[in-house]
Amino acid sequence: MKDDPILDVLNDLLNYDEILACMVARLNMISVMPDQERFDPNVMQLWDIIKRAMDDVFGVIREYSQAGLGEIEFRLQDYEVLFYVFPDTENALVAIVPALANKGLIEIEMENTRREILDLISEQESQTNTITT
């Protein structure tokens, strides 16, 4: 997808060495995702199981987002999957990082990215007219 500011933000996040993969997703749908070629190949090998586990977590996010759920993370083999929920939505910024990564810096980058995306969503809302039947 060309000219997508949210994709640009995710591509910037992916520039950090310890972010092995990232995306904006919701239950059963990856909404915005950088080119998978940029993801760590080891993560891709585990993708099927990560995807299934992600969908289960999104079921929890769906239930508790309105109650103020902010973040969820789980460890799977040598990786941690971080979910930064967009408030009051079913969507989250998802990143896969090494299990032994320095989480302090990653948390700051994730929070900055979440805020940037929230700003972009607000901008989009004021500009977009949707047409459906």
Chain residues in the site for other proteins (CB under 8 A): 1-2, 6, 24, 26-32, 36, 44, 47, 55, 59, 62, 86, 89-91, 121, 124-125, 128, 130-133
Q: Which is nearer to other proteins, 88 or 102 (CB)?
A: 88
Q: Which is nearer to other proteins, 39 or 97 (CB)?
A: 39
Distances (CA, A) of 22 to 2, 58, 63, 129, 133: 18, 15, 23, 28, 32
Give min distance, CB of 1 to other proteins, in A.
Answer: 4
Helix (H, G, I), strand (E, B) or coil at 59: helix
- How far apart CA 122 and CA 10 sit, in angstroms, is 17
Give min distance, CB of 105 to other proteins, in A.
Answer: 26
Q: Which is nearer to other proteins, 8 or 108 (CB)?
A: 8
57, 83 Cβ separation under 8 angstroms: yes
Give min distance, CB of 96 to other proteins, in A.
Answer: 13
Angle at 127 between CA 123 and CA 129, to 5 degrees: 135
Give min distance, CB of 100 to other proteins, in A.
Answer: 26
